[in-house]
Amino acid sequence: MSLERFIDDALSEWMKGEGADSDIVISSRIRLARNLTQYSFPMLSTNQQSEEVLEKVSDVVHDEDLKMISNFERIPLSEMNSLESKVLVEKHLISPNLAEESRNGAVILSENESISIMINEEDHIRIQCLFPGFQINEAWELANQIDDIFEAKLNYAFDEKRGYLTSCPTNVGTGIRASVMLHLPALVLTQQINRILTAVSQVGLAVRGLYGEGSDSLGNLFQISNQITLGQSESEIIHNLYSVVKQIIEHERTARAKMLSESKTFLLDRVNRSYGILSYAQIMDSNEAAQRLSDVRLGIDLGLISNVSANVLNELMIMTQPGFLQQYASKKLSPDERDVLRAEMIRERITN
């Protein structure tokens, strides 16, 4: 494996699989924040300390139990240029924080890219597991298994009363962030989304955009995650998220069914209009691309379009991001040049 292998393909292997409710749930993710005793948090650590953390965490890659899960590749951030790290951010394999601010940062990636272990990010270790569809329990089981392997080899910063100690107080306790990425076009079109999301925020869950905190909900994609990490067990946190997401899925299904029965002509026009624009447009900015791809994805899920695979749309959501476009072109591109190349890539993938 090499860095090129992870940045050349927009669609990670794990994204090609299917999980429960995959017509609405794009992905399920578990992220665990861990730190080592005797070392300052990354934002306060010296260069020597961060180097020692990098070495200690990297050594675990050779553990036989970890090798039984997958083959892994460790990639230091120092070996990437800014475009390459941006592509990994766009593929959700590393965080913007690791790409921009880390000292002696690195990422350990599994072959199918479903496991990403970030070193010297906001915390010393960030273990991330990604699954297609609604498989949050499966993601937790794998993340917990990996966490046990690391904890057996490393001295975690842990307090009997407070739990796992983390750089940000909001992660203290279990250190877990469980999240589900949902495609909710029908709730947006029927103007129910604000009511639903307000209710979600009142039960201790956060709603974010495609790339987490501070990002926009492009293409009707919403990330639902837990806010509470202290005072509840991991199973309680995941159960709460699971229950709420199940209700959101049912609301989206009801909205889709109602639109299909009462506004089918409107839906057909919207879906096919977006499909036509994607097939022939010469210029396409990222906001319009996300919205048009969302419309076509809805058409596929409702059986209104049959000649395009949902995987193609998943791939295009990554391929049309600024970093991937410039990596594909092997040069920096102006916003106008990106809009032209984005339209070209969409035309080729949609029509083929």
Question: b/e string for 46-76 if b means 16 or more Cβ within 10 A?
Answer: eeebbebbbebbbebeeeeebeeebebbbbe
Considering just the CA atoms, what is the radius of gyration of the chain in Å?
21
73 forms beta bridges with 109
- 298 close to 332: Cβ distance less than 8 angstroms: no
Is 31 labelled as part of a ligand binding site? yes
**Where does the chain have alpha helices with state H?**
3-7, 47-59, 64-69, 82-90, 96-101, 136-153, 185-189, 193-201, 234-262, 264-280, 286-301, 310-319, 322-329, 335-351
Is 181 labelled as part of a ligand binding site? yes
Is 201 labelled as part of a ligand binding site? no
Cα–Cα distance measured from residue 90 to residue 9, given in angstroms and rounded to the nearest whole number: 12
Is 330 labelled as part of a ligand binding site? no
Tokens 């639902």 found at? 224
Amino acid symbol at 176: I
Is 211 labelled as part of a ligand binding site? yes
Is 209 labelled as part of a ligand binding site? yes
Is 256 labelled as part of a ligand binding site? no
Is 235 labelled as part of a ligand binding site? no
Is 342 labelled as part of a ligand binding site? no
Is 208 labelled as part of a ligand binding site? yes
Is 210 labelled as part of a ligand binding site? yes
226 forms beta bridges with 205
- The tokens for 217 are 């909900």
* Residue 347: closest CA among 240, 287, 296, 275: 275
Cα–Cα distance measured from residue 104 to residue 46, given in angstroms and rounded to the nearest whole number: 10
Is 177 labelled as part of a ligand binding site? yes
Is 29 labelled as part of a ligand binding site? yes
261 forms beta bridges with none
88: which DSSP letter? H
Is 249 labelled as part of a ligand binding site? no
- 104 close to 45: Cβ distance less than 8 angstroms: no
Q: Which helix (H) or strand (E) segment is 1 a member of? A: none
- Residue 153, helix vs strand vs coil: helix
Binding-site residues, in ranges, read: 27-31, 92, 126, 177-181, 208-213
Binding-site residues for ATP, in ranges, read: 27-31, 92, 126, 177-181, 208-213
